[in-house]
Amino acid sequence: MDSLDYISLPITGMGDGVRSFNFRVDNEFFKSYNEEAELQGEFDVVVVCDKRPGMMTLDFNIKGFTNTSCDRCLVPIALPIESKYQLLVKYGEEASLNDEVLTISSKTEKLLLASHIYDYILLSIPHAKIYACEQEDIPPCDLDILKHLESKDENTPEAEQSLWDELKKFSKEK
């Protein structure tokens, strides 16, 4: 992981205040974590660091895409992803991480962020890999398959449709 040292914050000599750091991660970044590199894509990560005495607040703004297959039509797509996360960093005698609080030693010279960025990107990928691709100038999805799927929805038998209507009423009552 030494190749990822560039994705870090230089804590030594950093005075109090707000600073912004920009990082770009791509397929080489993901290969550092997994030789098979199941995750592929390109992301711009902006980390806004608010350093104060005894603590720092890191706001991660992640924007980019991951290469995957559309869950509707199975065509390869660049799934857009945009997310925000926050990590609180405090100084202590023993390094630890619990939930969103990272404790580091006061002697720490630089804070490595690569593993946090990797985890946040993984958390940002939706379970259903679909998006409104029809709104793009050149949609990547197979429009014939999407039309076929829509026509199946319209041809649902009335009995099955009424069952879904009843279930929708049930969820509204809660």
Residue 127, domain member (yes or no): yes
How far apart are the C-alpha atoms of 164 and 146, rounded to whole Å? 21
Range of the domain at 148: 142-174
pLDDT digits (tens, 9 = 90+) for 25-56: 999 898 888 766 678 999 999 999 999 998 99
pLDDT in tens, 116-165: 999 999 999 999 888 777 777 777 777 777 677 676 555 555 556 666 77
Chain segment 61-119, per-residue pLDDT in tens: 999 999 998 888 888 889 999 999 999 999 887 777 777 789 888 888 899 999 999 99
Please state, as a whole number, how many other Cβ atoms lie within 10 Å of the Cβ of residue 1. Answer: 10
The count of structural domains within the chain is 2
Domain shared by 55 and 81, yes or no? yes
Predicted pLDDT of residue 17: 94
